[in-house]
Amino acid sequence: MLYLFYGLLSLFFHQMFLAEENVDFRIHVENQTRARDDVSRKQLRLYQLYSRTSGKHIQVLGRRISAKGEDGDKYAQLLVETDTFGSQVRIKGKETDFYLCMNRKGKLVGKPDGTSKECVFIEKVLENNYTALMSAKYSGWYVGFTKKGRPRKGPKTQENQQDVHFMKRYPKGQVELQKPFKYTTVTKRTKRIRPTNPS
C-alpha cells in the first residue's frame, strides 16, 4: 500500500514537472513589456529613424510629423528615452522639443508634453533587423509612412508591412550621447572560446 502511495505521489510530481515545462512565457514577457519601469535609470539616445518606404528620415516638425528628412537634417534628429526593461520609448524632436505621439484616431501628431501613454511606443526588433514602433496604448497600431513620407494611420498598419520598418542611424558627425550595448549573435556555428591558462 505504501509503495502504491509513493508511486502515485511520484507520478503526480512528474506530471507537474511536465506541465511546467510547457508553460508559455510570452504572455508574461508581453505584460512586462507594456508596464512602465519608473525605478530603473533611463537611457537617453540620439539617432535618426530611416524609413524603409520613403527612403528618408522621420521628422518631428512641431505638431506635424513626416518621413522626408535628409541625413543630418536638424528636424530628423530624435532624442529617444528608453526604459531599462521593456523597450518602451518616448521620442522627441531635438530641434522642436515636441514628442512623437499617436492619437485615438491613429494619427501621428507632435505634442509638447510627452507624459501621455499616447506618446509611448514599444520598440520591436524584427527578423530583417529593421525596427517597428508599436503604440503602447493602442496595441497593434504602428508608426508608419507612405512612399511620399506621409504618416499612415495606426489602424491601417501591420508589423509585416514595409511602411512600419525603420533603421536607426546616427546623424552625420554626431557623437552618441550614450554608447549602446553591443550584442553578439549566437548561432550553431559559434564556437565556445575557452580561456587560456596563464603560464
The tens digit of pLDDT for each residue in 6-26 reads: 566 666 655 655 555 555 545
Whole-prediction pTM value?
0.68
Residue with the bigger pLDDT between 23 and 173: it is 173
| Mean pLDDT of all residues in 165-175 | 82
Among 119, 117, 118, which Cα is nearest to 97's?
119
pLDDT tens figures, 102-156: 999 999 999 999 999 999 999 999 999 999 999 999 999 999 999 999 999 999 9
pLDDT tens digit string along 42-91?
Answer: 788 999 999 999 999 999 999 999 999 999 999 999 999 986 566 899 99
* CATH architecture, domain defined by 33-169: Trefoil (2.80)
Which amino acid, residue 46?
Answer: L
